[in-house]
Amino acid sequence: MKYLCLVYLEEQRLHAVPDSECVACGVGLRTSGLLIAAEALQPVDTATTVRVRNGRVSITDGPFAETKEQLAGFYLIEARDLNDAIQVASKIPPAREGSVEVRPVRELTP
Amino acid sequence: MTATDPVHETVNAVYLSDSRRVLATLIRLLGDFDVAEEALHDAFRAALEQWPRDGVPANPRAWLVSAGRFKAIDSMRRRARFDALDDVGDKADIAVDDPAAWADEESVEDDRLRLIFTCCHPALSPDAQVALTLREVCGLTTEEIAQAFLTPAPTLAQRIVRAKAKIRVARIPYQVPTHADLPERLETVLRVIYLVFNEGYTASSGASVTRHDLSAEAIRLGRLLVELLPEPEAQGLLALMLLHESRRTARTSMSGELVRLDDQDRSLWDRGQIAEGTRIIERALSSGRVGPYTIQAAIAAVHAEAPTAAETDWAEIVGLYDVLSRGDSSPVIELNRAVAVAMRDGPEAGLHLIDAILERGDLLDYRLAHAARADLCRRLGRTADALASYKRALALTRQEPERRFLERRLAELDA
């Protein structure tokens, strides 16, 4: 089963964990076959939100909600169950600076 | 009809004693709470039909698990539109089903622990943990739980549906936590049980001081947990609940008013529960791993041992609060310690400590902090301060007998 681990950090903590540590974490997870994909994201002020309403594309600056923590990166992992996914999430380095939201992936029905 | 009555009684008795065990095993075998619940009901329906005709099986529990499992697989296959021929084959298959694979004592007892830990999984909200535990582990109906928590039944039903959906969709596994996770996960289970107990013991709102059924349910849960997993803190919690419970009759007057600990008629305390609680604490203490529940139980035991309020060993109680706050310092523990200090050293010393907590900005909305402060001011003759604090406590309380108690105090002071 796939889980998406969403890493949230406060703006000023975005670089609190050295990149090298995050790279090492990703390599470790990939070697043990748990990792499907992982990326870090640019800060939220580089974000653009796209909506389509009544067939018209609307583009706005940034994310809709003003929150203290922002999405800083993600890990898409393969885990047997939620307990295993939590195990993995707790080893993601930024978990000690911000938070990691663990979401089960929904398989689309074609 | 008369001939079948003893069998009906047997089925009822088995339902009371074993339905939760059967459910716990069915959840493991079928992998889904809702499917298992339906299977449980089908199994008991089958028992009502077949036992009067074929006799009560030697191992009713194994029979029920087997019947429930068969019914569930049968209806799953029917839903999947398997044809009739397959059905015949399946029935033959079930007849030779080997109960030894799942019916041995150890795996069945483990199923009950699996059920407890799954219902109290930290990925579920605390409200959902409580509702699900009472529903699945204790077998209370949704209506009973709703009534006990003064929550509308549809809200509670929704809470349970969402929790089960999360277990299924996020795939919360049906297992006893690993050794490494156990202390933390056990803490959640103990918190759920204590919450249920407290809701029954000092109902946070409503017309009466206590709601007996919830406390009894929590004690039953505590006993089950100690039986399945004899960890010192599980024992500590059970002892704590028994010692509180021993004072139930003495806590309320005939007219339903709240009676404070020092005014209680100690001859009404349940000596059997006190003896049992004290025995369990000794066992927990001898483990050498002493946690907060065990220390709180030890404090309750000091009260229980005092023949009169005046003879309470307050020095011992303050000492125990010191140990408690070393492990887990919270403003509420500090408040309780302050009250014990007031009893040991006089109201002035206690008031000083309570004021320090409130000045820090802690417990400002906690009714018992203001009630305790009011009581100490009253004893010191500081009537204006006492009145102000009683009024603050009164504004914060949502419980009828407590409101009446505070109003009485206010009236006495005003006079």
Q: What is the ipTM of this complex?
A: 0.84
Summarize the confidence of residues B70-87 as an average pLDDT: 73
Confidence of residue B89 (pLDDT cuts 50, 70, 90): very low
Q: What is the pLDDT of residue B99?
A: 53
* Domain assignment of residue B382, yes or no: yes
Summarize the confidence of residues A35-51 as an average pLDDT: 89
Contact residues on chain B for A90, CB-CB shorter than 8 A:
none
Amino acid making up residue B208: S
Span A2-104: which CATH code? 3.30.70.1060
Residue where a domain terminates, one of B88, B103, B118: B103
Note down the domain range covering B193. Answer: 105-229
pTM, to two decimals: 0.83
Residue where a domain terminates, one of B103, B126, B147: B103
Summarize the confidence of residues B237-254 as an average pLDDT: 93
Cβ distance B316 to B302 under 8 Å? yes
* Domain assignment of residue B318, yes or no: no
Q: Which helix (H) or strand (E) holds A60?
A: strand A56-61
CATH of the domain at B372: 1.25.40.10
Confidence of residue B391 (pLDDT cuts 50, 70, 90): very high
User: With 0-12 CB in 10 A as exposed, 13-18 as middle and 19+ as buried, what is B57?
Assistant: middle
Q: With CB atoms and an 8 Å threshold, state whether B169 touches A83.
A: no
Q: Report whether pLDDT(B96) > 50.
A: no
Q: With CB atoms and an 8 Å threshold, state whether A83 touches B173.
A: yes
Q: Report whether pLDDT(B95) > 70.
A: no
Confidence of residue B90 (pLDDT cuts 50, 70, 90): very low
Q: CB within 8 A of B144, min separation 6: which ones?
A: B134, B213
* Domain assignment of residue B22, yes or no: yes
Residue where a domain terminates, one of B312, B336, B351: B312
Q: Which residue has the higher pLDDT, B2 or B63?
A: B63
* Domain assignment of residue B267, yes or no: yes
Q: Report whether pLDDT(B91) > 50.
A: no
Question: Is B329 found in the same domain as B402?
Answer: yes
Residue from A1, A81, A87, A107 whose CB has the most chain B CBs within 10 Å, to mutate: A81
Domain count, chain B: 4
Token duo for residue B377: 């001011």
Q: With CB atoms and an 8 Å threshold, state whether B123 touches A104.
A: no
Question: Is B165 found in the same domain as B179?
Answer: yes
Q: What is the pLDDT of residue B328?
A: 76
The rounded Cα B199 to chain-centroid distance in angstroms is 8
Cα of A59 to nearest chain B Cα, Å: 33
Question: Is B330 found in the same domain as B404?
Answer: yes
Cα of B170 to nearest chain A Cα, Å: 5
- What is the tens place of the pLDDT at every residue in B13-26? 999 999 999 999 99
- What is the tens place of the pLDDT at every residue in B272-321? 999 999 999 999 999 988 999 999 999 999 999 999 999 999 999 999 99
Q: With CB atoms and an 8 Å threshold, state whether B123 touches A82.
A: yes
Cα of A33 to nearest chain B Cα, Å: 20
Residue from A77, A83, A107 whose CB has the most chain B CBs within 10 Å, to mutate: A83
Amino acid making up residue B245: E
* Domain assignment of residue B319, yes or no: no
Q: Report whether pLDDT(B48) > 90.
A: yes
Q: What is the pLDDT of residue B87?
A: 47
Confidence of residue B354 (pLDDT cuts 50, 70, 90): very high
Compare all CA atoms of chain A with the CA of B172 and give the residue at the minimum distance. Answer: A82
Confidence of residue B92 (pLDDT cuts 50, 70, 90): very low
Could you give the 3-state DSSP secondary structure of residue A6? strand
Q: Report whether pLDDT(A18) > 60.
A: yes
- What is the tens place of the pLDDT at every residue in B197-229? 988 877 555 555 455 588 999 999 999 999 999
Cα of B180 to nearest chain A Cα, Å: 11
Question: Is B116 found in the same domain as B218?
Answer: yes
Query: How much of chain B, in percent, has pLDDT values that exceed 90?
Result: 69
Q: What is the pLDDT of residue B81?
A: 63
| Cα separation values, B358 from B246, B297, B341, B354, B362, Å | 32, 27, 17, 6, 5
Summarize the confidence of residues A51-71 as an average pLDDT: 81
Question: Is B113 found in the same domain as B50?
Answer: no
Summarize the confidence of residues B35-59 as an average pLDDT: 95
